[in-house]
Amino acid sequence: MSVKTLTIDGKMVTGAAGESIFNAAWNAGIHIPRLCHIGGLSDVGACRLCLVEIEGQPKLAASCLTPVEEGMVVRTNTPRLQAHRKLIVELLLAERNHICSVCVQNGNCELQDLAEGLGIDHVRLRYQFPRLGVDTSHERFGIDHNRCVLCTRCVRVCDEVEGAHTWDVKGRGRNSMVITDLDEPWGQSETCTSCGKCVQVCPTGALFEKGKTVAESRKDRRFLKYIVTARKEHQWIR
């Protein structure tokens, strides 16, 4: 396997051929903001928060989808990128109803952490205030579409890890929503295995476990690394 050498934020970094800038940066201790990316799942570049500047290229590039190249010079935290990420998070906050004080994930939310890290104390955009439902028809879990940021982590973990293909996305633009099966109530899904993987990878309070208090709402994603590693190394429990 060939190795590529590049420079990220003035630091010389190496990455395997085909590896993304995002992974190479994180492996070198350079953390790039993200919302849709999660280790173990395929990347889709949906959130656009991991965009970086590449010397010689006028357009910003999604680091999770851009492979490393020999001699590449990358910048991850310029004023241009900070302004871009701040606007993206403000758009997400304005698009739906993210009211942290009444959210089950308050204090353990990736969107909330991003907003705080970017210094967002108010939103400059007009709030949309859509009237979105909450589906609690499932025996163990619920989904609050008001908190969903359409990262599609739930779709990908259900497809790629659990193999149930329960989750999907319907609609376009601001009308997009995640759905179960053919847009049926979650509790009526014939494909859902009730494994809870979708709940654990959700970055916000959109997917939640019933009966859990805010203090108990921390999500544990260690299972994903174990499953993916076991599949790669064929470490099956016999």
109: pLDDT strictly greater than 90: yes
pLDDT at residue number 1: 66
Amino acid symbol at 149: V
Please report, to the nearest 10 degrees, the dihedral formed by the alpha carbons of residues 156, 107, 27, 150 taken in order: 30
Please report, to the nearest 10 degrees, the dihedral formed by the alpha carbons of residues 92, 85, 221, 107 taken in order: -70
Amino acid symbol at 168: D
Q: Average of pLDDT values for 117-145?
A: 95
In this predicted model, what pLDDT tens digit does every residue of 217-231 receive, in sequence order? 778 888 888 888 887
Provide the CB-side half-sphere exposure for 144 (13 A, CA): 17
pLDDT at residue number 223: 84
Rounded Cα gap, residues 95 and 2, in angstroms:
43
φ and ψ at 88, to 5 degrees?
Answer: -60, -45
What are the structural domains of the chain? 3-77 (3.10.20.740), 107-233 (3.30.70.20)
pLDDT at residue number 219: 84
pLDDT at residue number 227: 85
Please give the DSSP secondary-structure letter assigned to residue 176: -
pLDDT at residue number 236: 63
Q: Is 229 exposed, middle or buried (0-12, 13-18, 19+ CB in 10 A)?
A: exposed
pTM of the model as a whole: 0.92
pLDDT at residue number 237: 55
216: pLDDT strictly greater than 80: no
Rounded Cα gap, residues 151 and 177, in angstroms:
11
Rounded Cα gap, residues 205 and 202, in angstroms:
7
In this predicted model, what pLDDT tens digit does every residue of 27-83 receive, in sequence order? 999 999 999 999 999 999 999 999 999 999 999 999 999 999 999 999 999 999 999
* pLDDT band at 210; cut points 50, 70, 90: very high
Contact of 168 with 152, CB cutoff 8 Å: no
